[in-house]
């Protein structure tokens, strides 16, 4: 979180005090640092320099148009999982030839739109999906470039909800079925075989699961190539972990070393799909204490953000650091839970924090740039938070806070009673 630092006893994002942002834009607000996104992107490009690499940012991590635009300007392509994400990245100026389309359940209209846009590759996850894409491509007069997502059956050693590379998961196809899949793909009109891919999970902090997956994938690639199937790229997926608490720095150098010789010997392009790595530590969720309360020994700070804004603590038991916007004194801290106003005990943002908080204090939930806003909802008829991007010494609103009116506008009020029909 090096772009969020105390200066003059106040937490600031790239020198702009968060207190000023709260005054200007209200709370809760996600605040992103454009400079932090750029630093993370450059760390990746530097690590893979000299390898033929396509970085496709996983849009699901943070889909704000201004964030996408920023990444596009840095040279990123995109990993999308829906027609909605396709529309977003095209609006942000993406080059369709740098878009890969992942996901286990692509629908006809999404496939048609992606073919129409001329995307780089469909990451196919099943035989049924191969048939569907081939049929749509043939009837619409397109050739669909495809890659098969293989499930290498390795344990990514992360939270079970975000482990995808085990053979009990719904993702990909088993390695043993890959050859038959490619044989069939080669026989279909409307299909061009381009690559092979895997994605073993998210928030992976050790190199070990990647090494296991890479070993298995290259053994398979060699087998496929020997049998005459031409593979042009290897897509490793995303999953590179970040520091939320005291996780180690992700070992990019070791990952590069594991890939370099294998890729060069086979003249393969590398595709990676990082999401969290690029944006998590570029953002905080800025929120204000409504009041504090104590139930017996337990102390709570009830804040104006909640699980609808940041679901990770409730859903995964994720721990994200909390910083007081006013730099804390040495004394006065209590052990306190930071909770939202939603009617669920699961509505907490942080537990057992050592903070001295009172009504109207501002706090920042750290590492909220990934899977924060993108997983938010209107639960309890709460409007989604505002989003602010700090760039070049300026803070700009990049998404307006949702009002009750915008939520109600989609609902249809029937003034008449439905006529009753007998069954």
Task: By CB under 6 A, name the binding residues for ligand LLP.
Answer: 58, 61, 79, 102, 162, 199, 202-203, 237-240, 273-277, 312, 316, 371, 375
Contacting residues for 370 by C-beta, under 8 A, at least 6 apart? 61, 62, 242, 275, 276, 278, 279, 280, 283
Q: Closest CB to ligand LLP among 25 and 101?
A: 101
Beta bridge partners of 148: 124, 196
What count of other Cβ atoms lies within 10 Å of the Cβ of residue 38? Answer: 18
Q: Closest CB to ligand LLP among 57 and 218?
A: 57
Q: Residue 167: in which H helix or E strand, if any?
A: none
13, 343, 353, 366: the active-site residue: 343
Q: Closest CB to ligand LLP among 22 and 58?
A: 58
Residue 258 backbone dihedrals phi, psi, to 5 degrees: -70, -25
The nearest distance, CB 156 to ligand LLP, in angstroms, is 10
Largest CA distance in the chain: 72
| 393, two tokens | 């010494």
Using DSSP's 3-state secondary structure scheme, residue 250 falls into coil
The nearest distance, CB 92 to ligand LLP, in angstroms, is 18
Q: Closest CB to ligand LLP among 28 and 369?
A: 369
The nearest distance, CB 344 to ligand LLP, in angstroms, is 18
Q: Closest CB to ligand LLP among 86 and 325?
A: 86
Q: What is the Cα–Cα distance from 32 to 374, expressed in whole angstroms?
A: 13
Q: Closest CB to ligand LLP among 25 and 371?
A: 371
Contacting residues for 187 by C-beta, under 8 A, at least 6 apart? none
Nearest to 322 by CA among 340, 298, 346, 345: 340
The nearest distance, CB 148 to ligand LLP, in angstroms, is 13
For 315-348, letters b (16+ CB in 10 Å) and e give ebebebbbbbbbebeeeeeeebebbbebeeeebb
Q: Closest CB to ligand LLP among 25 and 277?
A: 277
Residues counted in the chain: 423
Q: Closest CB to ligand LLP among 79 and 129?
A: 79
SS3 readout for 402-419: CCHHHHHCCCCCCCCCCC
| Phi-psi category of residue 274: left, alpha or beta, with phi > 0 → left and psi -120 to 50 → alpha | beta
For residue 32, the 8-state DSSP code is E
What is the distance of C-alpha 145 from the center of its chain? 24
Burial of 375 (0-12, 13-18, 19+ CB in 10 A): middle
The nearest distance, CB 31 to ligand LLP, in angstroms, is 18
Beta bridge partners of 298: 295
Spatial contact of 163 and 156, defined as CB atoms under 8 Å apart: yes
Q: Is there a catalytic annotation at residue 121?
A: no
The nearest distance, CB 312 to ligand LLP, in angstroms, is 5
The nearest distance, CB 245 to ligand LLP, in angstroms, is 14
The nearest distance, CB 281 to ligand LLP, in angstroms, is 12
Q: Which residues are catalytic?
A: 343
């Amino acid at each position: 979180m090096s772009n969020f630092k105390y200066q003059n006893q106040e937490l600031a994002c790239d020198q702009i005090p968060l207190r000023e942002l709260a005054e200007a834009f209200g709370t809760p607000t996600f605040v992103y640092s454009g400079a932090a996104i750029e630093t993370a992107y450059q760390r990746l490009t530097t690590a893979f320099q000299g390898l033929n690499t396509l970085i496709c940012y996983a849009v699901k991590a943070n889909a704000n148009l201004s964030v996408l635009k920023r990444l596009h300007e840095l040279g990123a392509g995109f990993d999308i999982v829906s027609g909605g994400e396709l529309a977003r990245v095209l609006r942000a100026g993406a080059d369709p030839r740098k878009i890969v389309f992942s996901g286990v359940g692509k629908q006809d209209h999404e496939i048609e739109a992606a073919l129409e846009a001329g995307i780089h590759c469909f990451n196919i996850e099943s035989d049924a999906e191969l048939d569907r894409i081939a049929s749509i491509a043939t009837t619409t007069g397109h050739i669909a470039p495809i890659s098969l997502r293989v499930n290498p059956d390795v344990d990514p050693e992360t939270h079970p909800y975000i482990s995808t590379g085990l053979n009990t998961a719904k993702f990909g196809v088993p390695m043993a079925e890959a050859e038959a899949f490619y044989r069939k793909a080669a026989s279909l009109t409307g299909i061009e075989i381009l690559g092979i891919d895997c994605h073993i999970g998210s928030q992976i902090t050790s190199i070990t699961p990647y090494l296991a997956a890479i070993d298995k994938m290259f053994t398979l690639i060699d087998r496929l190539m020997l049998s005459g199937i031409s593979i042009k790229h290897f897509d490793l997926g995303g999953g590179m972990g970040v520091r939320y608490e005291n996780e180690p720095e992700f070992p990019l150098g070791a990952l590069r070393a594991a890939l370099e010789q294998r890729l060069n010997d086979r003249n393969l392009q590398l595709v990676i799909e990082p999401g969290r790595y690029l944006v998590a530590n570029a953002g905080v969720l800025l929120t204000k204490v409504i009041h504090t309360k104590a139930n017996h020994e337990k102390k709570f700070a009830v804040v104006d953000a909640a699980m609808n804004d940041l679901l990770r603590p409730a859903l995964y038991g994720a721990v994200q650091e909390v910083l007081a916007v006013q730099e804390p004194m040495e004394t006065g801290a209590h052990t306190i839970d930071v909770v939202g106003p939603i009617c669920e005990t699961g509505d907490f943002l942080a537990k057992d924090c050592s903070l001295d908080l009172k009504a109207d204090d501002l706090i920042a939930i750290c590492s909220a740039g990934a899977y924060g806003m993108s997983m938010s909802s209107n639960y309890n008829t709460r409007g989604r938070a505002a989003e602010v991007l700090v760039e070049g010494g300026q803070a700009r609103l990049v998404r307006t806070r949702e009002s009750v009116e915008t939520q109600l506008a989609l609902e249809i009020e029937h003034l008449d009673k439905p006529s009753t029909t007998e069954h």
